[in-house]
Amino acid sequence: MVKSAHNLMAYNSQICVDDKFKFIVATDVTSQGTDKQELHKMALQTKEVITSPDLVILADKGYYSAAEIKKCVDDGIKTLVLAIRTGQELVNKGKFTKDKFIYDKEQDAYICPNNKLVSRTKSINKSYARIMHMYRSSQSDCNACPIKDNCLGEKTKQKQTQRWEHQELLDTYNKNMKTPEAKALYKKRGSIVEHPFGTIKRNLGWDHFLVRSKKKVQGENALIMFTYNFKRLLNLIGIALFKKLLIAIKDGDLTNIREEIALYIASSRLYIVDFFQYIFMVQFSKKLA
């Protein structure tokens, strides 16, 4: 969901959706043009609602950011985000891609396809507080290399590359993404997140923000997501049970209603009451405050 106009601020709506009931468990609004800085923030909000140790955050490749993935790992949040594929242009030109250069941890250097060292020269600070280590080959090695045309440009005299200070963590992460288990789980992403957006656009008839200023947009966004969750809840438990649920929440006694709802939608879905109480009464009320 985007609000856009000529020479005006544009806003993107961010949501996290639970895979069982398709509830929106976290939402926010950002003015960023990309999603690269949103993964950790949305993952933290989701973790507040879904406290299960088995929580896994699935996100499309637009959210792929080494720094954001590192933050999630540090906070014990498991994520599955597909890396953006790069290097196809080099392949089309008959050039070696970076994966052809093997990192040697002991020497802190890369081994090129001609079995020569590409050694570390310096470290620099880059965007998003990342420290990158820079590597460069020997010019004499490159001059004598029989396959340099597959590596260097016409005016390039030696190979240069870079490595993130936490690249080992990222390599392990990307390797895990290639496992059958991760691939099977990741395939579910589209069907999970597209359900709310499809419902909001088609059933609620909402496809853009009507107000201006970030605070007002956040309020409108919260109302729309609240409306979706409300309709979703009614579809799951019906109006009669919903009325009983409101009374139980008001009285502060959820024991009986939990049992009744469990019988209605299946015992494995008991935590729907907790979702309603937390999402509607806490999360979205903050957005509207």
> Quick one: three-class SS letters along 61-87?
HHHCCHHHHHHHHHCCCEEEECCCCCC
Last residue of a domain, one of 167, 184, 200: 167
Residues 219 and 157 in one domain: no
Does residue 250 surpass a pLDDT of 80? yes
**217: in domain:** yes
> Beta partners for 80?
58
Alpha-carbon distance 69 to 213, whole Å?
30
- Reported as a single tens digit per residue, the pLDDT across 35-59 is 999 999 999 999 999 988 899 999 9
- Reported as a single tens digit per residue, the pLDDT across 166-191 is 999 999 999 999 999 999 999 998 88
**40: in domain:** no
Alpha-carbon distance 276 to 257, whole Å?
13
Domain of residue 99 covers: 88-167
Alpha carbon of 99 to those of 96, 110, 146, 289: distances in Å? Answer: 8, 10, 19, 50
Alpha carbon of 130 to those of 36, 66, 185: distances in Å? Answer: 14, 9, 30
Query: Tokens 């993404």 belong to which residue?
Result: 177
Last residue of a domain, one of 103, 135, 167: 167
Residue 76 binned pLDDT confidence (cut-offs 50, 70, 90): very high
Interaxial angle between packed helices 214-251 and 189-202, expressed in degrees from 0 to 180 and rounded to the nearest 10: 100
Q: What is the mean pLDDT of residues 111-137?
A: 93
**b/e 185-224 (16+ beta carbons within 10 angstroms → b):** ebeebeeebebbbebbeeeeebeebeeeeeeebbbbbbeb
Phi-psi region of 79 (alpha: psi -120 to 50; beta: other; left: phi over 0): beta
Residues 104 and 162 in one domain: yes
Residue 221's pLDDT is: 92
Domain count of the fold of the chain: 2
**74: in domain:** no
Residue 280's pLDDT is: 58
The encoded tokens of residue 121 equal: 């020269």
The encoded tokens of residue 187 equal: 């395939």
Residue 252's pLDDT is: 87
- The pairing of strands 56-59 and 78-81 is parallel
Provide, for the chain, the percentages of residues in helix, strand and coil under a 3-state DSSP scheme, each rounded to the nearest 5. Answer: 50, 20, 30
**20: in domain:** no
